Amino acid sequence: MKVNVQDFEVFNSLDVNVIVAYLQRTGWHEHSRLYDNKGAIWIKKNDAGDVFDIGLPLTREFADYPARMGDAVKTLELTENRSQLEILSDLVTSLDNTEIQGFVVKVDRENGGKIAKVVMMGFVVSKLQKIYLELKENDFNLALKAYQERIPVTCDGDFVKEGGYFAVKNLREFALMVEEAKGDESTRGVAIP
């Protein structure tokens, strides 16, 4: 299934340095610089001899930065024969003010410690990822309950990629999700404060 991503917040969160490194790794070559080195044209020739190009802003000064990043992802989709979501999962290094749902898979707190280290698994741009966060007492108790009873959780904050996982910075909310069945109505998730 082909998905056309149109979320400008996701495209705006892309770091141009990550994209440049990705292009270099995947066989693209910088062809020329534009606008006093504030933009670049990258090219790649496929096995059939077709030439593809990406116009990449090298600074966020351009008002259409998210749109140009979206165009770059669309071109990568064509050349790599992968979905935009798969490509974005390789390119996204941070998501600000985002809520992710998942399951707690590890809870660790030293005896008498005020901070607990928690690992959850959740989908970040359609890819299952490990997510590390630190929780204080009340949220630690929720995480422990979620872990022991396999209750899904929601986590709201800023997510930053560190190596092969995401870490939560500026945690705003951590909550359990429970399912409530109401007669013939469909089941829905409700966060518990």
pLDDT at 54: 95
Q: Looking at the domain 94-192, which fold is it? A: OB fold (Dihydrolipoamide Acetyltransferase, E2P) (2.40.50)
* pTM for this model (two decimals): 0.68
Q: Can you give the residue ranges of every domain in the chain?
A: 8-91, 94-192
Q: Helix 84-91 crosses helix 65-80 at what angle (to 10 degrees)? A: 120
pLDDT tens digits in sequence order for the chain, 193 residues long: 465 555 667 788 888 888 999 999 999 999 999 888 889 999 999 888 889 999 999 988 888 899 999 999 999 998 998 888 888 888 888 888 889 999 999 999 888 778 899 999 998 877 889 999 999 988 999 999 999 999 999 999 999 988 889 999 999 999 999 764 334 343 344 444 4
pLDDT at 7: 66
pLDDT at 190: 44
Question: Degrees (nearest 5) of the Cα angle 68, 74, 76?
Answer: 105
**139: region left, alpha or beta (phi > 0 left; psi from -120 to 50 alpha):** alpha
Distance CA 178, CA 25 (A): 43
pLDDT at 5: 56
| Nearest of 31, 3, 28, 23 to residue 90 by alpha carbon | 23
